[in-house]
Amino acid sequence: MAKMQGDEMMQVTARLADYTLVLGVVTFLAVVVALFGEQFWRWLRKPKLKVSYDFQKGAVTSNNVSREAYFVRLYVHNSGHTSARNVQVVLHSVKPFDSHNWADEQFIPMYLSWLYHECNPWLEHIPPRTGAYCNLAQILRPDEQTDPEIEFVTMKTPLGIPNKWGLGRYEVQVQVAGENAIVNPDPMEIACPKWSGDKTQMQKAVLGSTK
């Protein structure tokens, strides 16, 4: 009988310890919410930006002359619960793999332009579960006397800093930031290859992928 009572007392004590632990956790969370409630919920529901790359074939018209072109764009997707506000994309650096280039040391970060919003580097809203395309680069079909060039679609090119680069491979670093969100994607490799009219072949040469 005494042994049974002892076992029952141990079980009661264990249950009380569990209840005390749970109560302590709940109390701690209540204090955190009370002290940092607004900031806590804002952090929990903040926008979450992810960047992927898109490759398309099209044309560029200038002076009533149309030229085939390939376009490399960034797709900025908001997988969070609130809108990302006043988002901008900066081309932070371009580094050639194949040869040394003086622009390595003198490259100045530049704003990229948003598709359909080319006049403003800031996109006012990216709502939850949606995304927007940002122009990164374009490769225009060359004539018979020239090689292809890759042109980064920046809002404004500082004097002396190129936004057109020749044949070769480059490491490109961008940064995406807004009032309430920021993301620094890993550097990507992009190439300016010999021209091909085959989109799949060109995509593999430019981005190293056909996805």
pLDDT tens for residues 57-85?
Answer: 999 887 888 889 999 999 999 999 999 99
- Residue type, position 13, single letter: T
**Contact of 207 with 192, CB cutoff 8 Å:** no
16 pLDDT more than 70: no
CA distances from 123 to 88, 111, 114 (A): 6, 12, 7
Structural domain boundaries of the chain?
Answer: 1-44, 49-207
pLDDT tens for residues 25-39?
Answer: 667 766 666 666 566
* DSSP code per residue over 125-175: EE-TTEEEEEEEEEEEPP-TTS---EEE-BS-PPTT--SEE-SEEEEEEEE
pLDDT tens for residues 79-112?
Answer: 999 999 999 999 998 888 875 544 455 678 889 9
The CATH homologous superfamily of the domain defined by 49-207? Immunoglobulins (2.60.40.10)
